[in-house]
Amino acid sequence: MSLVVGIDVGTQSVKLVAYDPAVRRVLATHGKAIDLIADDAGSREQHPAWWLDAIRTCFAMLDPALRARVAGIGVSGQQHGFVPLDATGKVLAPAKLWCDTSTQAECGEIMHAAGGAQRCIALAGNPILAGYTASKLPWTRKHRPDAYARLASILLPHDYVNFWLTGERWMEYGDASGTGWLDVRTRQWSVPLLAATDAHRDLSACLPPLVDPAASFPLAPAIADELGLPRNVRVSAGGGDNMMAAIGTGNVAAGVLSMSLGTSGTLFAHSMHPVVDDAGSWAAFCSSSGGWLPLICTMNCTVATEAVAKAFGFGTRDGDAVMAGTAPGAGGLVMLPFFNGERTPELPHARASLFGMDPGNFDRANVYRAAMEGATYALRNGYDLLQAAGMRFDAIRLTGGGSHSAAWRQMVADVFALPVEVPVQAEGAALGAALQALWALQEAVAPGADLAAIAREHVQLDDALSASPDARSVAAYQPGYRQFLRHLDDARTSHAEHPPTGG
């Protein structure tokens, strides 16, 4: 029986899952860590060749008998990254990533040229935020002029992997809406925002065509042979990691709230109409399933817990045991976990801070808990924005590396006062990419295939990992959350009074 493969190209690693739809089971999971190029100016980059090498490694680890059964591949990729190609398809420079905050000045320049943040929202549904693809273009023009002069194609990370797999270039609406240039209401490029990014050239000529989310393309024969795959494999449109995680957690119908505890933290929901906030409080993205995906993104989630664990000399796998004797509130410690700056709220130059230290509470257990609580409070702050807009949810679908922690699952249930459900497959983005590939295969045979039905059938929940809010803990977290919000307000005020200068 045929298999579908999902590939997730993340910031820290590339993951591959091989899924058998007939038995509704993941038959194999493989991963390969990748490096990150970082500097004190906020730059975060990777060489796209690293992604391809990691994919090769993952397929090499996949049993040849399973490789021979593959019929479809779907690719999930970290959003917003900028892969510049020349006219021959050669990569011109390292890819600047979603967590790169070195282009903040360019965000302001684009929005000023477009008529301000409110005008950007009117044109496309979103302001131009640090991390979005748009600001990476003028940064490259200033700092890598030779590469910019030779620029012929603008691709996102998952687009580049698709290009390598198929030899064809395209974008789909979900990931494309994270560039800052796509009008999410009409699903068309905003000509004024492209012009605001570069008034001296037609950037639309560098953008590949937009395709429907159920589209698919043939795997290039040479790549099929290299990876040991059948030559009739189809590659689906793919999408950004958040869009694929939505599919992988069954978030393709209204009423479901998904939360990803990864390097970044995200909250996202499904809508059949654009959900745009006039103040730009959340990302008004399209989904990769034919709808829209209002999304809250924080720049720091497992980054915070990993940084604390490393500093105190233990691994995050031991984190639950380390903090086992602590209580909600971390003994009075409160952390703003802004190790990579912050996006919600927009504080790209913020830095992590720890408050409330005294001789009795400053130990590794409380500091680790404060990091976990701070990352969770940051997401709760975003959830409050969605609630204020009238959105209501009955439960949270949890995915990402942090969902492996029983303590974190319970913390989310208590801080949000909502039951937590965990899909059997914790790597929701990779599974979502595999399910999109299954949808594309069905669509090719019988147009009108129902992705929601596929998600209901194949996204299974692990009852043993569910968590329900505990009334006492729900109350116990409230003082810490209020203190977090006070420190957050202070950070906002400081940023407004002393804005960063320079590029």
241: annotated active-site residue:
yes
Say which of 241, 277, 394, 470 is annotated catalytic.
241
Strand residues in 226-282 grouped as ranges (E): 234-236, 239-240, 257-261, 265-269
Please tell me the distance from the alpha carbon of residue 175 to that of residue 83, in angstroms, as a whole number: 13
Bridge-based pairing of strands 283-286 and 265-269 is unpaired
First to last CA, the chain: 54
- Residue 142's alpha-carbon distances to 65, 112, 147, 389, in angstroms, are 50, 18, 10, 39
In eight-state DSSP terms, residue 28 is E
Return the SS3 of 367. Answer: helix
- Which residue has tokens 């492209």? 194
354's enclosing H/E stretch is: strand 353-355
Query: Which of 411, 340, 338, 402 lies closest to 373, judged by CA?
Result: 411
Classified as helix, coil or strand, 347 is strand
Distance (Å, whole) CA 456 – CA 423: 12
Q: Would you call 471 helix, strand, or coil by DSSP?
A: helix
How far is the CA of 16 from the CAs of 29, 45, 361, in angstroms?
6, 22, 41
For residue 269, the 8-state DSSP code is E
CB environment 336-370: b (16+ within 10 A), e (fewer):
bbbbbbbbbbbbbebebebbbeeeebeebbbbbbb
Residue 477 one-letter amino acid: Y
Name the DSSP letter for residue 209. P
Cβ pair 7, 73 in contact under 8 A: yes
- Please state, as a whole number, how many other Cβ atoms lie within 10 Å of the Cβ of residue 304: 27
How far, in Å, are 28, 93, 132, 184, 275 from residue 122 at the CA level? Answer: 45, 32, 17, 10, 13
CA distance 242 to 236: 16
Among all chains, which residue has been given the structure tokens 């654009």?
A: 274
Cα–Cα distances in angstroms (integers) from residue 60 to residues 8, 52, 65, 312, in the given order: 16, 12, 12, 36
Token pair of 344, please?
């919600």
Annotated active-site positions, please?
A: 241
